[in-house]
Amino acid sequence: MEIKIRKRASATTGKTSLSLEYYLGYTKDENGKIKHKRKFETLEYFLYTHPKTAVEKDHNKTNLQMAEAVKAKRLLAFQNKQYGFTVDFKIRTNLVEYIRGLIEQRKESPGNWGNWDSALKHLIAYAGEDTTFETVDKEFVTGFKNYLEKKARTKSNTRLSANSQNSYFLKLKATLNQAVEDGIIPNSPATHVKTAKAEDVHREYLTIEELQRLVKTDCKFPIMKQAFLFSCLTGLRWSDIQKLTWSEVQQLDGMTRVVFRQKKTKGFEYLDISDQAVKYLGERGKPDERVFIGLKYSAWHNMALQRWCMDAGINKTITFHCGRHTFAVLQLSLGTEIYTVSKLLGHKEPRSMRGFSTRRNARLSIKSRNYNLLWPELAI
C-alpha cells in the first residue's frame, strides 16, 4: 500500500487543504480495463496557498511536518499490522456519536435505554463530546472508572452507588467490545480493567395478596394490566413481552409453550407457561401479530402503572420490571430451588439471582424452562 499527501487549493479562501491518499492497488475487469482502488483521509491541517509573511511560512512548514508525521504513523501501523487498513481508517470515529447509535438500537427496551443514556451523560462529563476511539486507551478507561467512583454525581448531587458505577462502566466496556466487532479498533483497552464489587440491592416485588388486589382493580391501560400480570406469572422481561408474536406461542402436548429469543441476552429460550398465564394472552391472532397490541412504555405509562398499584392499596414503587422480581421471589417462597428459578428467568449464570436469596444452588438438569410448578391461583 502507498500513502501520499494530497494538496487541494481553494481559490476563494487562499488556503490549501491536506489529505492522505491510500493507494490499494488495482483490479481488472473482464475486458482488461484497469480500475485503481484509492481511499482518502482528510487531515485537520492546512497550508496558506501563497504565504506572504514569515508567520504564514512558518505555519506551512509546521503543518506540513504534522501531516508527514500522520502519514508515517499510518504507514507504520499498516506495516506492523497493528491495525488492518479498515480499522486504521475508522479509529477516528467519534466515541459519543457511536454510543448514541447503540442507544438508538435500544429504544424498545426502556429500562436499558435509560441506563445507557445516563452512562453516556457521565462519559460526556468525563471526556467531552469530541473524543475519538484513537484516544481511548487503558488509561482513558481507568480514568472513567475513577471518575464514576469519586466525582460523578446523581441529579440530587449525591455520589453514585456502587451498582450504578458498575452499570455505567460496563456500558463503556460493552461499547468497546462492539467496536472490536465492527472493525473500529483491533482490541478492547478495557479487557483487563476490573469492575468494582457490586452491592446487594433491594428488589421490589409484590406478594400473592397484592397480586390478587391488582387483578380486581381497574387500570387506565387494560393492555398494560394484562401484560404486567403476565410478567408476574412468567418472569418475562418487558422487552420480550412487548415484541412477543403469536407465532412464538405454540401448543405442544396439551401445554402452551413460548419459544423466543431474548432481546437482552440474544439467547434462544423455550418456556412452558401455566394455564393462568395463558388466560392473560387473550384471543389468538395471526402468526405475525403481536400478542400485546398497543403495549407502550413512557413516563406517562409508568405513572399509570404506579397509580394502578396505589388504587389497589399497594404503597410500593412499582415498575414493569417488578413483575419479573415478583415471579422470582414467589417461586423461591414456594420452595423452588434458586438454580431452577435462575433458569426459568433465562439467566446464563445463577449469580444473576444475587439479592433474591442466599440459598445454595441445586444441581438440576433443566432442558427447558418448564414450570407448571406450585402456584397459588389468582382470581382472574
CATH of the domain at 264: 1.10.443.10
The pLDDT value given to residue 83:
45
- Structural domain includes residue 42: yes
C-alpha cell read off for 74:
499510518
Of the three residues 163, 181, 199, the one that is the final residue of a domain is 181
What is the side-by-side order of every strand in the sheet holding 2-9?
Answer: 2-9, 15-28, 34-48
Of 116-120, 215-219, 228-232, 296-300, the range with the lowest mean pLDDT is: 296-300
- Whether 169 and 284 map to the same domain: the answer is no
Which helix or strand (DSSP H or E) is residue 43 part of?
Answer: strand 34-48
Phi and psi (nearest 5°) for 247? -65, -20
- Structural domain includes residue 186: no
SS3 251: strand
What's the DSSP call for residue 351? G
- Structural domain includes residue 187: no
What's the DSSP call for residue 274? P
- Whether 257 and 366 map to the same domain: the answer is yes
Please tell me the total count of domains within the chain: 3
- Structural domain includes residue 188: no
- Whether 14 and 127 map to the same domain: the answer is no
- Structural domain includes residue 216: yes
- Whether 241 and 150 map to the same domain: the answer is no
Mean pLDDT on 238-260: 87
79 in Cβ contact with 72 (< 8 Å): no
256 in Cβ contact with 273 (< 8 Å): yes
C-alpha cell read off for 4:
501520499
> Could you tell me which of 65, 52, 49 has the C-alpha nearest to residue 11?
49
Of the three residues 136, 164, 181, the one that is the final residue of a domain is 181
Q: CA distances (Å), 38 to each of 16, 26, 35, 305, in order?
A: 21, 9, 10, 57
- Whether 173 and 228 map to the same domain: the answer is no
The pLDDT-based confidence of 364 (bands split at 50, 70, 90) is very low
Of the three residues 82, 116, 144, the one that is the final residue of a domain is 82
Average pLDDT value over all residues in the chain: 80
Dist. CA 261–CA 248, nearest whole Å: 10
Question: What is the pTM assigned to this prediction?
Answer: 0.49
Q: What residue numbers bound the domain in which 153 lies?
A: 95-181
- Structural domain includes residue 127: yes
Q: CA distances (Å), 206 to each of 66, 134, 367, in order?
A: 64, 48, 29
Residue predicted with more confidence, 78 or 365: 78
C-alpha cell read off for 152:
460523578
According to DSSP, the β-strands at 255-261 and 249-252 are: antiparallel
Residue predicted with more confidence, 150 or 373: 150
Dist. CA 126–CA 327, nearest whole Å: 39
- Whether 40 and 77 map to the same domain: the answer is yes
- Whether 18 and 127 map to the same domain: the answer is no
- Whether 17 and 77 map to the same domain: the answer is yes
- Whether 176 and 46 map to the same domain: the answer is no
- Whether 141 and 14 map to the same domain: the answer is no
- Structural domain includes residue 327: yes
Q: H helices of 151-193, where?
A: 162-181
C-alpha cell read off for 333:
417462597
Share of the chain above pLDDT 90, in %: 33
**pLDDT digits over 131-179, tens only?**
899 889 999 999 999 999 999 998 888 888 888 888 899 999 999 999 8
Dist. CA 271–CA 344, nearest whole Å: 8
Residue predicted with more confidence, 81 or 362: 81
- Structural domain includes residue 195: no
The pLDDT-based confidence of 120 (bands split at 50, 70, 90) is very high
161 in Cβ contact with 199 (< 8 Å): yes
CB-based contacts of 179, cutoff 8 Å, min separation 6: 93, 98, 133, 185, 188
- Whether 37 and 166 map to the same domain: the answer is no
Dist. CA 230–CA 273, nearest whole Å: 10
- Whether 316 and 212 map to the same domain: the answer is yes
* CA angle, 162 then 165 then 168, to 5°: 150
Mean pLDDT on 92-119: 82
